[in-house]
Structure 1
Amino acid sequence: VNEINRKNNINLKNCEPIKLVLQTMLSFKDLVRNHESDDDDAKRKPVTPSDSEDFKFFSPLPVSELDAAAVKLQKVYKSYRTRRSLADCAVVAEELWWKALDFVALKRSSVSFFGVEKPETAVSRWARARTRAARVGKGLSKDEKAQKLALQHWLEAIDPRHRYGHNLHLYYDVWFESESVQPFFYWLDIGDGKEVNLDECPRTNLQRQCIKYLGPKERAAYEVIVENGKLVYKCSGSLVDTVEGSKWIFVLSTTKTLYIGQKKKGFFQHSSFLAGGAITAAGRLVAHQGVLEAIWPYSGHYHPTEENFREFIAFLEDNVVDLANVKVCT
Structure 2
Amino acid sequence: MIPEATNLLHAMLVMKELDAALARLQKGDNISPTKCRPEEIVDTVEKLRWRILDVTSLMRSSVTFVSLEQPETAVSRWSRAKIRVAKLVKGLCVDEKAQKLVLKYWLEAIDPCHRYGGNLHLYYVEWLKSQSPQPFFYWLDFGDGREVSLDQCPRISLQDQCIQYLGPKEREAYEVIIECGKLVYMRSGCPVDTPEDTKWIFVLSTRRKLYVGEKKKGLFQHSSFFAGGATIAAGRLISCNGTLQVIKLAFMCYMVVQWPLSSTGREFRGDIRFLEGHHVDLSHVKTFPLDDDVPPPPPPPPRRNAPPEERRDSETVRTPPRKNPSTADNPYDANNL
Q: Give TM class, smaller chain.
A: 0.7 to 0.9
The offset of 1:118, in angstroms, is: 4.8
Measured against aligned partners, the alpha-carbon deviations of 1:69-103 in whole angstroms (never above 9, x if no partner) come to xxxxxxxxxx9974853332222112111211221
Aligned residue for 1:226? 178
Contact kept in structure 1, 2:92 and 2:98, CA below 8 Å: yes
Residue in 2 aligned with 1:326? 285
Residue 278 of structure 1 aligns to a residue in which SS?
coil
Read off the aligned partner of 2:160 and give its amino acid letter. R
- Residue 307 of structure 1, CA deviation: 5.5
Question: Relative to 1, partners in 2 of residues 1:123 and 1:80: Cα closer, same or farther, differing over 3 Å?
Answer: closer
Aligned to 2:169: 217
TM-superposed CA distance for 1:318, in Å, is 1.9
Matched, 1:190 2:142: yes
CA distance in 2, matches of 1:327, 1:93: 42
C-alpha contact 2:249 2:259 (8 A) present in aligned 1? no
Q: Which moved more, 1:105-114 or 1:170-179?
A: 105-114
Q: Output aligned runs, 1:49-198, within 5 Å.
A: 82=34, 84-111=36-63, 113-115=65-67, 118-198=70-150
Displacement of 1:111: 4.1
1:239 counterpart letter in structure 2: P
Other-structure match for 2:3: none
Q: Is the 8 A contact 2:62 2:135 kept in 1?
A: no
Number of residue pairs the alignment of both structures matches: 252
For structure 2, the 5+ residue unaligned runs are 1-30, 262-268, 290-337
Alignment match, 2:250:
298
Q: Distance in 2 between matches of 1:314 and 1:142?
A: 17
In terms of Rg, which structure is larger?
1
Q: After TM superposition, give the deviation of residue 311 of structure 1 in Å.
A: 4.2
Deviations 1:98-117 (A, max 9, x none): 21122111111114642497
Change in Cα spacing, 1:116 to 1:174, as seen in structure 2 (3 Å) is farther
Equivalent position amino acid for 1:326 in 2:
V
**Counterparts of 1:138 and 1:207, CA distance in 2:** 26
| Amino acid of the structure 1 residue aligned with 2:126 | V
Q: For the residues of structure 2 that align with 1:326 and 1:216, how far apart are their CA atoms?
A: 31
Instruction: Give the whole-Å Cα distance in 2 for the aligned partners of 1:232 and 1:143.
Output: 25
What residue is the counterpart of 1:32 in the other structure? none
> Counterpart of 1:229 in structure 2: which amino acid?
G
The Cα of 1:299 is off from its aligned counterpart by 3.5
- What CA distance in whole angstroms lies between the structure 1 residues aligned with 2:108 and 2:275? 30
Q: Distance in 2 between matches of 1:308 and 1:127?
A: 36
CA distance in 2, matches of 1:282, 1:218: 19
State the one-letter code of the partner of 1:178: S
Please state whether the residue corresponding to 2:273 is helix, strand or coil. helix
Cα distance in 2 for residues equivalent to 1:167 and 1:231: 34
Report the AA paired with residue 219 of structure 1.
R
Q: Give the corresponding residue for 1:283.
A: 235
Query: Percent identical across equivalent pairs?
Result: 58
> What's the counterpart of residue 252 of structure 1?
204
Task: Tell me, in whole angstroms, the C-alpha distance in 2 between the residues paired with 1:182 and 1:117.
Answer: 15
Give the TM-score taking structure 2 as reference length: 0.71
CA distance in 2, matches of 1:98, 1:248: 26
Q: Which has the higher contact order (CA 8 A, sep 6+)?
A: 2
| Equivalent pair of 1:241/1:290 in contact (CA under 8 Å) | yes
Structure 1 segments, 4+ long, off by >2 Å, are 79-87, 115-118, 307-313
The letter for the 2-side match of 1:216 is P
Q: CA RMSD in A?
A: 2.0
Matched residue of 2:93: which SS?
Answer: helix
The letter of the residue matching 2:62 is: S
